Structure 1
């Protein structure tokens, strides 16, 4: 085992905070079991991290893109969807809007995008618009509202499902605008909606959801 390999393994052990191993490094340096031990620890932590992020994302059950029926809906840009699956839009914190009538798979596509982001190591939260806005509107103190808005603003990817399916008050519209403003150009938001011109559209005139 050369010096470069030893230094790399030691750095990986330090990143994992294997303090006992680091403390006795001089005694075990060069041992063949060190590399697989560190790899096992990295793999296990990556697995636990993914499982935790999947649990926190609240995606629910969904059909994988491999089983998606591209013949329904009748009009869908498959190439554009597959390009989105590369997650290149996350680099520039670009927002995505999936528009179409009920039952054509908008939520499924959003869930697949979110799941791909989780696999790539990103944090994700999936939330129905009505549930999220109702929850925010029900908070009766500014501090509680700030904390909850921070929670929704924090994930690398926030999926807001079914925007425009229900009627929203000005209060709901203001809250949605506030949340989008907090995330704008910092983190990506994915929105599904059945309306091209939903009641909240004017609220995004200065903070558009797509660019």
Structure 2
């Protein structure tokens, strides 16, 4: 009877203290501790380590979901040989996360199809593994969200929510030109993150061409001044990976035919 009462108390206490892993594993670990003649302290340590391991894994999974990556990409699947101008060691150093701790930015510039989005996501996923809060969004969608937030008088609250992210990945800047209002809101967004959080931006345009997107030379210059201060700039011009793969598929199909 005492054993049943003890188990019932353990069930209730582990639920109350929100220790689900301990609740699930205390019996099996107790048997293992008995077989190995472990001390009470060693048994307790094993229980707590299991709880912490599962909790950290769950937190990483939650952060991955909140990051809203459109697809999962990793650094080990990025083919650096196809882009010899890109310094692999520099990228791997960035993936260690020091730029996030220093609240620095990473800007990836290059023509379409060279793997900018892949690399941005891969670094972002690595930052999640390092425990940072990351969020992915395209530049067009970000501007749309900012415009809606302004219309609904919740712009300040939205910016506060975004500042909770250690890294914001803004993809495809330059593919769609913005309205004057959209450009000003995007400028305000990145200005608010200046030295308060890191950003990773990808663009198919050189800096000199950004005026085409923002429509104002002074606004563009002011934005670039903030973004490039203490930033890591990766030039990723080269042959399009997608175009190369398309040619390879076509050649294979012709060969098979």
TM-score (norm 2): 0.67
Shift of 1:71: 2.5
Aligned residue among 192, 195, 203 for 1:182? 192
Alignment-derived partner of residue 5 in structure 1: none
Deviation string for 1:90-121 (max 9, x for gaps)? 12101110001100000111101111110011
Alignment-derived partner of residue 92 in structure 1: 102
Aligned residue among 46, 50, 55 for 1:40? 50
Give 1 or 2 for the bigger CA radius of gyration: 2
Deviation string for 1:134-164 (max 9, x for gaps)? 121123132x212222222220011000111
Shift of 1:72: 2.2
Please identify which structure carries the higher helix content.
Answer: 2
Give ranges in structure 1 of 5+ residues lacking alignment.
Answer: 1-16, 22-28
Shift of 1:18: 7.2
Number of residue-to-residue matches in the alignment: 186
Aligned residue among 212, 219, 223 for 1:204? 223
5 Å-filtered alignment, 1:1-211, equals: 30-139=40-149, 140-142=151-153, 144-197=154-207, 198-199=210-211, 200=214, 201-211=220-230
SS at match of 2:73: coil
The structure 1 segments of at least 4 consecutive aligned residues displaced by more than 4 Å after TM superposition are: none
TM-score (norm 1): 0.81
Shift of 1:44: 1.2
Root-mean-square deviation (Å): 2.1
Shift of 1:56: 0.3
- Say whether the 8 Å CA contact 2:95–2:126 is kept in structure 1: yes
